[in-house]
Structure 1
Amino acid sequence: MSQLLRRATLIACSATAVLGLAACGPDNANPSSTASAPGPAASTAGLPDGNKLNALLLPATAMPPKFKLDPSGSQSTGDGAIPPASPSAVPADKACDMLNGTGWVNSAGIIAASFAKNNYVDEAQNMFAQELDAYRGNDAQTVMANLKKTLTACHTFTVTQDGQNFYATVTLQSLPGVGDEALQAVITSPEWTGGSTLVAARVGKVVVATYDNEQSNTGTAGVALTKTLVKNAASAH
């Protein structure tokens, strides 16, 4: 699979919506989601807004050489909040397909109250995408549980691009000592050059999600960047 095809797939599903107008949207919810309907726990009291989360994102100086900010991938909720919404089930194969995009955290099927995200890319179209999502009530714990279920269920899945099928494999492991809980998943395929590494970590009610796509390796450098991002999130508590 050419890097151009991989790149097209990676950006096909963007991050959580600004003020609820999701590019991936609640229709892409995970069928395993156990979140409850909006209620008393829907309050945003004590949660960081998009501006605060944006200030915690890693700067350009922390990125690998030649990586530059992609302005089109920078989004946040600013000082607003996304209205609470109940999860909506989607077919399992759609949830798997979402793993191959920068907004993969949305495969958990739960809309955050606030978020901030951006992407860094180089001339070869290698990418590091970072996102911070703040959730109401116990939704952050449910997000982590749902992501683990999806990544486990999608151990092998098919990516369709331009009428061709590419068979991908997900290798999942936990990351002890990173935030309150964390997981790492590496996505590879015989048809791809390199691979992608996804990391999700919870810090209280904030979920840190990153996507590192590399042609020369599986994106493991993104794990170290994610650990620094987790420390930033922890410092804000």
Structure 2
Amino acid sequence: MHLPSRALKVLAVAALPLALAACSSGSTDSSADKSASAEPAKAKDPNAGLLTGTQLKKALAPESYFPSGLALDASLSRDTGDSYQTPATKSAAKPHCADLDATSWIGLTGIDGVSFAQNSHINKSASAELDQEIDVYRGSASADVMKGLAKVVAACRSYPDPDTNSKVTVTGASTTGLGDEAYAITLTDSSWENGTTLIAARVGTAVVSVLSTDGGDNGAASAKKLAAQVVTSVKAESGTAHQS
């Protein structure tokens, strides 16, 4: 929603004493001097109220959450700290579909947020993986990200797996019970031992995204469980931030 310019409002108010002065040449109005000398209002911080990377990191599922064998890969742990990055939107018309099976797959929508936190837990002996990420966006951009997921799936019905030279099949659909809205994507390939499940769930201006290959059901159950855990934590962290 676009509000009327505050500058135009100030100018309209300041013009009124001038009109009165034209009718009574000897009169003065101190309010005109006050309007003229008033300092311009400070621009609103576009990141006000948005969680920082440091806060988002606290909302990620803790080490105690993950089953034995799934160890943190420190090289894949990142966050934006206490600062914000500049948001960006780029064309998502031709996404690099193979990135669906990678960390930060949510970026395929072409929308970058202002803060994020992520990490990955991997069981190398069992070829199992659980990734979690939280991205925060300005305004309604988080809702745009969710809409963009269906477009990504439509553009990536299948893609070649560079490691096995086989074809990965992609399906996606909205799902319920997670945050304000949620979308699930399933990746399957006849050459894989197990498929991959991706889930994105929006919580206000934040989008929780997870990737799982853990479990014989293409990682579906473990992905939903992890997404639910992080969604609950984001809600709690958002409440704490608003109280402080």
TM-score, normalization: structure 1? 0.76
Gaps of 5+ in 2: 1-42, 239-244
**1:88 Cα deviation from its structure 2 partner:** 2.3
Give the structure 2 partner of residue 54 of structure 1. Answer: 57
Give the structure 2 partner of residue 234 of structure 1. Answer: 235
Give the structure 2 partner of residue 34 of structure 1. Answer: none
AA at the equivalent of 1:141: A
**1:186 Cα deviation from its structure 2 partner:** 1.1
| Distance across 2 between alignment mates of 1:233 and 1:90 | 27
Segment of structure 1 superposing worse, 56-65 or 170-179 = 170-179
**1:160 Cα deviation from its structure 2 partner:** 2.5
CA contact (8 A) 2:80 2:116 kept: yes
Q: Deviations over 1:151-208 (max 9, x none)?
A: 23322222323xx632111222222121000011110101111011100000000000
Shift of the 133–41 alpha-carbon distance from structure 1 to 2, 3 Å rule, reads farther
**Residue 170 of structure 1: SS of its match in structure 2?**
strand
CA contact (8 A) 1:108 1:146 kept: yes
Let me know the Cα RMSD of the aligned residues: 2.0
Give the structure 1 partner of residue 147 of structure 2. Answer: 145
| Distance across 1 between alignment mates of 2:215 and 2:236 | 33
Instruction: Give the percent of matched residue pairs that are identical in Structure 1 and Structure 2.
Output: 33
| Distance across 1 between alignment mates of 2:128 and 2:170 | 19
Q: Deviations over 1:14-67 (max 9, x none)?
A: xxxxxxxxxxxxxxxxxxxxxxxxxx9981111000000000000111112221
**TM superposition outliers: structure 1 runs of 4+ over 3 Å:** 214-217
Gaps of 5+ in 1: 1-39
Bigger-Rg structure (1/2): 2
TM-score, normalization: structure 2? 0.74
| Distance across 1 between alignment mates of 2:229 and 2:78 | 20
1:2-81 matches, within 5 Å, as 43-81=46-84
CA contact (8 A) 2:92 2:108 kept: no
AA at the equivalent of 2:207: V
1:154 corresponds, among 137, 153, 156, to 156
CA contact (8 A) 1:186 1:195 kept: yes
| Distance across 1 between alignment mates of 2:62 and 2:82 | 20
Between structures 1 and 2, the one with greater helix share: 2
| Distance across 1 between alignment mates of 2:44 and 2:167 | 40
**Residue 146 of structure 1: SS of its match in structure 2?**
helix
Between the two proteins, the alignment pairs up a number of residues equal to 194
Segment of structure 1 superposing worse, 70-79 or 151-160 = 151-160
CA contact (8 A) 1:144 1:200 kept: yes
| Distance across 2 between alignment mates of 1:122 and 1:104 | 20
Give the structure 2 partner of residue 191 of structure 1. Answer: 191
Give the structure 1 partner of residue 112 of structure 2. Answer: 111
**Residue 210 of structure 2: SS of its match in structure 1?**
strand
Higher relative contact order (CA 8 A, sep 6+): 1
| Distance across 1 between alignment mates of 2:113 and 2:132 | 15
**1:126 Cα deviation from its structure 2 partner:** 1.2
| Distance across 1 between alignment mates of 2:209 and 2:60 | 11
| Distance across 2 between alignment mates of 1:119 and 1:112 | 20
CA contact (8 A) 1:42 1:136 kept: no
| Distance across 1 between alignment mates of 2:199 and 2:177 | 13
Give the structure 2 partner of residue 82 of structure 1. Answer: 85
**1:234 Cα deviation from its structure 2 partner:** 1.6
